[in-house]
Amino acid sequence: MACEADRAKIVAPGKTYVGQQGFTYQAGVSRGTVGETDVCMNVLPMPPGAKAKSHYHKGIDTIAYLLDGRCSVYYGDNLQHRAILNPGEQMFMPRDVPHAPVNDSGAPCTWIVVHSSGDDQDDIVMTPHLDRLLPEV
C-alpha cells in the first residue's frame, strides 16, 4: 500500500503555459504536474508594460509574492484600488475579487503566485468590461 510520502515530487523548471489572463506562466506545482492537490504555485514573469486581463477566481484565494521588480495590482469591483508592491512583499487577494497586475515600473518583475485550488485556471472568470479601466502603460 502506498503512503502519502510517495506522492512527494519535484517540479523542474522549463514547462510553460499561457493562461486566460494573457501571460505565459512557468508551470509549478499543480494538479497537472503532481497529481491531485488542493493548492498550486506558479511563476509569473512580467516584462515592462505588461498587464493582465482583469479577472477573478470564483471561490479561490490568491497569494502573490513579488520576487523581483516593482508592480501595481488593480483590484476591486471596478478596479478602483491600486497596490504597489516591491520585492519581498506579498499580496493576499480574497476569492471573487476582480484584479489585474500591471507592470508600470519600466523594468521586468517576477511573481510567485499561489492559489487555493489545484490549478490556477480553475474557475477563473474573465471580466473584460473592466479592462478599459486599467491604465495604458
Q: d(Cα 93, Cα 19) in Å, to the nearest integer?
A: 18
**In the chain, where are the structural domains located?**
22-126
- Domain 22-126 top-level CATH class: mainly beta
How many contiguous H segments (helices) and E segments (strands) does the chain have? 2, 11
Whole-structure pTM value: 0.92
Rg (CA), the chain: 15
- Amino acid making up residue 29: V
Q: Residue 1's pLDDT is what?
A: 55
Residues in the chain with pLDDT values less than 70:
1-2
